[in-house]
Structures are given as structure tokens and as C-alpha cells.
Amino acid sequence: VWSKVETGPPDAILGIAQAFRECQDDRKVNVCVGAYRDTQGKPWVLPTVRAAEQKLLENDDPKDYLPIEGDTGFITEAVKFAYGQNVDLSTVAAVQTLSGTGACRIGGEFLAHFWENKNIYIPTPTWGNHWKIFKECGLETHPYRYYDRSTNRLDLIGFIEDLEAAPEGSIILLHACAHNPTGCDPTLDQWKRIADVLERKGHLAFFDSAYQGFASGDAERDAAAFRYVTDRKTIPVLLAQSFAKNFGLYGERCGTLSMICSGEEERQRLLSQLRCVIRPMYSSPPRHGSSIVKTVLSDSQLAPQYYEECATMANRIQAMRELLVKTLAEVGSTHDWSHVSEQIGMFAFTGMSEEMCDQLTKDYAIYLTRDGRISIAGLNDSNIRYVAEAIHAVTDG
């Protein structure tokens, strides 16, 4: 009966991760998916996450359903993490989501119902799933210029021009920090110019924040651009927040979708509609990940320890980024890799072509996305020279 169903395309990121798992080559290296690995190439469960799990076990934490909008205690901690400890909670309507993807989807569905202008502008390049999520919500997806491949730097002029040209009141998708895949963020001065246009055009800023704390190692610093835009109070803001990377809670699917509102009465109205979006989709969110984040962030001992652990991950990635550039020079690459040193976050956006990426996978069993993105977290002292030599061979060869 299903003979007319054609095979769907593999996912541009997770499809490659699957190919890596199936690869039999001993040399194989996974720099595809943005998931943290330690110095031994192993996943790392943060000690504070384990400590929180221990507490949950000792406290006999129940397995009951959460409310449709999620765990209030978790949401409060998550909102303070993103907006700052002094945020007025009555001005933020927030729900728990299935990590950042779920937050984008809930936000997109909400906007498709309640925001008049259905045009959403998405940076080029971006995390590939953004396009699919917002299209599935019924929004009209359009690209805006973000990154100039000829200079390997931000295309601020193109960015601003495209925001100016978008119809008034468009939805603008923005990466809060550590832009995926380029690792190239506007400076705070540049954010000011971007915010000026958002404000003048009445655009809505939809921030995707998947790397707070993970970019610089300082969660406060990584929130600066987002807080700058929200603090202007003249730009409608939505925030999709993920705890996958900064807490290492990839499989727990834990995040929030929030939006600024005028006060308690409006907050209750927005929450009621967000519940109406969530209930027919998945009823209510899973509780384990949110219980962990809530336990860690509300504990006076675990919270500071957590911030140190997050910085440990960010610092290791930063060290690997510098080592990659240094090793490329050591193995004889004459390319200018300075953009890789300047980028931040999980990824290096190398500038390699699709053909070069394919050759890395075919000849060297190095698995990366075909846009030339390397997940720096997959690099360590044991494989970095091999990867640098291979990159040198395909780029200088």
C-alpha cells in the first residue's frame, strides 16, 4: 500500500552522523554534529548534571506529567539565565519546549497564528533545520545576507540592506551568539545598527539561543546581544532557548520558548495560546532534563560549579580552534585561516567547497557537513594533526 511513498532525503547533518556510525575505517573522525566531546573524544556528562540526578533520585522525584507549559520552577530559572537575574518575570511569557528545535517550532506556529506578517527572514547560511521548521509552520521563508564567503567575514552591509528591504513587520531570525554554522557574530556596535533597523521597520526579532555560555565560556557575556535588543523595549522579541550544548543535555530535549509582553494580563493570554499550540502536538514536555537544569541553577553550590564546567567546555574548544590553525601552518598550509581563529562557538566555518568536504570524507574518513563546517568539539590531541594534514591535502593539493 505504500509503494508510492518515495525515499526521503537524508538530513544534511544527522544523515552524515549516521554515515559516520556505519563507517568501518579505523581512521574515522567525526566533526559533523555539534555535540561536545572531551579530550579523549568521549561525550561528557557534566558532574553537576550527575549531582542533580543523584538529588532527584534521593528526593524520589515523581514521574508525573508536567503541565502543558512545563515546569514553572525550571522556566523561571531558564528565563533568568537568558534575560538576567533581575528580569521582571511578569513581562516574559515562557513555556518549556523540546529543546531549541521545539522552541523554534512552537514560536513559528504561534507567529503563523498571531503575527500579521508571515514573512520570516533567515540568515545565509544558517543551521539547515531552520528552513524546514519555519516552512512547516506555514511561514514564508526568505534568505537574508549574513556572511560573505569571499572575505569569510560578516556581510553587515548586505545584512542591513536586506532588513531594510523586507516588508515592515517581518520576522527576522537571529542567532543570539556563536552563529551556526559560521561562528561569526556581529560585534555589539554592529548589533546596535541591526537593532536600529529592526526598530525602524517594526520587525520582530526571533532569537535562537543554542550556545549561551558555550561561546565565550561566560553565560552573561554570551547573552549581551540578546539583552541589548530586549532592553531597548521597542522591538518585539521571541527567544528559542536550548540547554543541549551548554548543559550537555542533548538527548533530554530541554529548552524554552519565551516572548516579551506588557505585563501579567497579557502574559496569561499568550500562555493560554501557547498551551493551545503545544497540547495537540505532544501534550506536555519531558521532565527529566528540566528537573536537572532547575536543580542545578537553583542550588547555591551547584550553580557556580556548573558555570565553571561550561567554561571548561568552551575553553577546550577555543584551545582546539587555535591548535587547528597552528597545526595547519605546521603541516605546510599556506592558506589564510585567520577567520577560523576569529570565529567562536562550536564550529569552524572553513570556507572549504563541497568537493573538498566530499574528498575529506571519501579519502580520509573525516565526516563533516558539506558546507565546510567542522565541529571543533570533535578534535583532540590524538586526531588534530591527521585532520590538519587532510585539510591541507584537499585545500592545497
Measured from the CB atom, the residue of 33 and 166 that comes closer to ligand LMR is 33
344 near ligand LMR, rule: CB under 6 A: no
Instruction: Restricting to residues 350-369, name those near ligand LMR by CB under 6 A.
Output: none
| Min separation Cβ 101 and ligand LMR, Å | 7
Measured from the CB atom, the residue of 11 and 168 that comes closer to ligand LMR is 11
Give me the 23-52 binding string for ligand LMR, x by CB under 6 A, dash otherwise: ----------xx------------------
Instruction: Restricting to residues 151-190, name those near ligand LMR by CB under 6 A.
Output: 180
Question: Among this protein's residues, is 245 annotated catalytic?
Answer: yes
CB 99 within 8 A of CB 254: yes
Task: Please identify the residue of the shown chain whose CB is closest to the bound ligand LMR.
Answer: 34
Give me the 65-94 binding string for ligand LMR, x by CB under 6 A, dash otherwise: ------------------------------
Measured from the CB atom, the residue of 180 and 333 that comes closer to ligand LMR is 180
Measured between alpha carbons, how far apart are the two ends of the chain, in Å?
A: 51
Task: Say which amino acid occupies 334.
Answer: T
Among 74, 127, 206, 247, binds ligand LMR (CB under 6 A): 127
| Min separation Cβ 177 and ligand LMR, Å | 14
306 near ligand LMR, rule: CB under 6 A: no
Catalytic residue among 155, 162, 208, 222: 208
Catalytic residue among 44, 71, 115, 127: 127
| Min separation Cβ 129 and ligand LMR, Å | 6
289 near ligand LMR, rule: CB under 6 A: no
Among 13, 120, 257, 278, binds ligand LMR (CB under 6 A): 13
Question: Among this protein's residues, is 371 annotated catalytic?
Answer: no
146 near ligand LMR, rule: CB under 6 A: no
122 near ligand LMR, rule: CB under 6 A: no
107 near ligand LMR, rule: CB under 6 A: no
Question: Among this protein's residues, is 326 annotated catalytic?
Answer: no
240 near ligand LMR, rule: CB under 6 A: no
Q: What is the CA angle 123-126-129, rounded to 5?
A: 120
Spatial neighbors of 316 by CB under 8 A, at least 6 apart, are 38, 39
Interface ranges with ligand LMR (CB under 6 A): 13, 33-34, 127, 129, 180
* Residues annotated as part of the active site: 127, 208, 245
